[in-house]
Amino acid sequence: MNYAKHFSVSQTPQTEQADPSQVQNSAGGYAFEITPWQRLARFLILGCEGGTYYATERKITQDNAKCVQECLALDPARTVEVIADLSETGRAPKNDPAVFALAIAASTPGPAASAALAALPRVCRISTDLFHFVAACKGQRGWGSGLRRAVSDWYTRLAERDLCYQIAKYQQRDGWSHRDVLRLSHAEINQPVARYIVSGADGMGLRTVERKGRQTRTYPELILPEYLEAFEELKHADARRTQELILRYDFTHEMIDSRHKNNPDVWACLLQHMPMRAMVRNLGKMTEVGLLAPLSAATNSVVARLVNEASVQRSRLHPLALLSAERVYAQGHGERGSLRWSPVGAITDALDEAFYLAFGGVESTGKRTLVAVDVSGSMDSGTIAGVPGISPHVGAAALAMVALRTEPNTHVVAFSSGVPGEYRYGSGASYWGVRCPAGLSELGISARQRLDDVISTMAKVPMGGTDCALPMLYAMARGLEVDLFQIITDNETWAGGVHPHQALAAYRNKSGIPAKLAVIGMTATSFSIADPNDAGQMDFVGFDLSTPQAIAQFAKMC
């Protein structure tokens, strides 16, 4: 009997443990389990809206909430600092996971709650975040003195103009309004502003009060700050006066009367002082009303801002927001509603350029890099950070282009699974000429291609199961000299006859190159194909703003 065919430490099927520390992933294969701190970062950056191919949104949210609690039990101060720092630096596409995690911390008695409430202004920088926070806290804790004081401080720290801006722009979210929060927190803010929040403009006039059944006293009218007086006028102003008020007080599109939402002159005034984030969100609307048209001054202004690296960096606009904006704008209609427009090519091109600029300057390492994108079926489920249309598959294609434009010596392939040890190319034949339903495909893309074109190219690659060992086996079979493998995946590998870390070891032995493996996780699960005991393998979070630079530093390490 040939016992060796049933056991090998160098070639183990992925449905079996190759290392005692491995755990079973959601697909039934075995992978390494990342630390709670690594999973916390994945959740804060990627979120879990829509769930994954193997887990529902509810299940993965519950698992990540337990991870937050686990980190709080290990080190509450560190956990809160991770949440606050990641939120402040804009590394995540959305702030919602950080707000939710902070609410969990604020509802955990002891040092965790104290640290979380102290960090409230760092994470909840606008009223929408504050409303999300108190809504998340409602199901986990009561309105004790600590929460009341923290929320009250959130209001009282604001200068009068900033407070008025928050009241006018963010009036209610999640069933919560400033009126609700102010009453529960007992915040002592400017009296006219407080009256305005509680009673509205109609409650600002004269009123009478009876004291102990004796005489009735009339209180004088409370005078609103000028900003709120102008905001009240804005609600009923005609188009011309609306434009004047916008230019004088920097009012936003959320504040103007709906009658003027289709007036290009009003939008032209809004555009003059519109922040980058708001501008990107409203490109479709400004195109529909005719403000943004080919060769127009407004279009030239928008394009100039989008291709200006300093402007993009100052805006702290996340690359994922720009990727989503480009895809939505190019298709000529929104994901919801009836808005339709004819895209302006110059703006679509500028959004494409802005996507790369948002990552900041990433220095080339000169390393020979093979970027392998997982295009298995599971990568097409769910969304990254809840951004419509941005599945892990689409996001992975975008990250591959970032690598391609950063490193001149880069080759990009896409893979799923196939007959063990065989690799399918565009013709449908494997490396040895045997046909198989899916495998590894050479894409032939270049750094000069448009991002949407590359995403379309990858979408044509046949999907199958997941075999994350294929990139190393492919490089070994072809005799490719690779310094760094970048595998962009959800880590739900199961279909191969050898584990990825074993395939990497085999490649190193055959080639004599101490190749490294950077694994870029695209979902908020607890798995990774990177062996934590190998210094030449490391796990990264997809669409963390710092990931390209961190990978470059990892690649340069001796």
Per-residue model confidence as pLDDT tens digits over 281-294: 999 999 999 999 99
Helix ranges, 206-343 (H): 226-234, 239-249, 264-272, 276-281, 283-288, 297-306, 309-315, 319-331
Helix (H) or strand (E) holding 209: strand 207-210
Lowest mean pLDDT of 74-78, 212-216, 231-235, 310-314, name the range.
212-216
pLDDT of residue 450: 84
Give whole-number Cα distances, 87 to 123, 125, 242, 322, 355, in Å. Answer: 6, 10, 35, 18, 20
Lowest mean pLDDT of 81-85, 178-182, 334-338, name the range.
334-338
Comparing CA positions, the residue from 404, 394, 395 lying closest to residue 449 is 404
Q: Mean of the pLDDT values across residues 298-304? A: 97
Is the pLDDT at 199 greater than 90, yes or no? no
Query: Pairing state of beta strands 516-521 and 484-489?
Result: parallel
Q: Mean of the pLDDT values across residues 216-228? A: 69
pLDDT of residue 212: 53
DSSP at 325 = H
pLDDT of residue 488: 95
- The alpha carbon dihedral of 383, 389, 390, 396 has a sign of positive
pLDDT of residue 435: 43
pLDDT of residue 217: 46
Is the pLDDT at 215 greater than 60, yes or no? no
If phi > 0 it is left, if psi is from -120 to 50 it is alpha, else beta; for residue 233 that is alpha
Helix ranges, 407-538 (H): 451-459, 470-478, 500-511
Lowest mean pLDDT of 330-339, 356-365, 424-433, 512-521, name the range.
424-433
Q: Provide the percentage of residues in the chain whose pLDDT is more than 90.
A: 57
Comparing CA positions, the residue from 484, 497, 474, 493 lying closest to residue 538 is 484
To the nearest whole number, what is the mean pLDDT of the chain?
87
Is residue 416 classed as helix, strand or coil in its secondary structure?
A: coil
**pLDDT-based confidence at 462, cuts 50/70/90?**
confident
Cβ pair 422, 436 in contact under 8 A: yes
The gap between the terminal CA atoms of the chain, to the nearest Å, is: 45
Is the pLDDT at 98 greater than 90, yes or no? yes
Cα 395 from Cα 447, distance rounded (Å): 16
Q: Which residue has the higher pLDDT, 199 or 255?
A: 255
DSSP at 411 = E
Q: Which residue has the higher pLDDT, 437 or 236?
A: 236
Q: Which residue has the higher pLDDT, 9 or 540?
A: 540
pLDDT of residue 9: 59
**pLDDT-based confidence at 240, cuts 50/70/90?**
very high
**pLDDT-based confidence at 426, cuts 50/70/90?**
very low
pLDDT digits (tens, 9 = 90+) for 427-450: 444 443 334 456 888 888 888 888
pLDDT of residue 433: 39
Q: Mean of the pLDDT values across residues 374-397? A: 85
Q: Which residue has the higher pLDDT, 362 or 375?
A: 375
Q: Mean of the pLDDT values across residues 416-431? A: 52
Is the pLDDT at 139 greater than 50, yes or no? yes
Q: Mean of the pLDDT values across residues 456-474? A: 87
**pLDDT-based confidence at 250, cuts 50/70/90?**
very high
Tokens of 530: 């990177």
Q: Mean of the pLDDT values across residues 304-325? A: 91
pLDDT of residue 7: 47
Q: What domains appear along the chain, each with residue ranges and CATH number?
A: 41-201 (no CATH), 235-273 (no CATH), 276-317+319-357 (no CATH), 369-556 (3.40.50.410)
Is the pLDDT at 491 greater than 70, yes or no? yes
Cα 398 from Cα 337, distance rounded (Å): 27
Q: Mean of the pLDDT values across residues 49-64? A: 82
pLDDT of residue 432: 37
CA 418, chain centre distance (Å): 32
Cα 297 from Cα 135, distance rounded (Å): 43
Is the pLDDT at 142 greater than 90, yes or no? no
Neighbours of 217 (CB within 10 A): 10
CA 176, chain centre distance (Å): 24
Is the pLDDT at 483 greater than 90, yes or no? yes
Query: Pairing state of beta strands 369-374 and 484-489?
Result: parallel
Tokens of 386: 């809840």
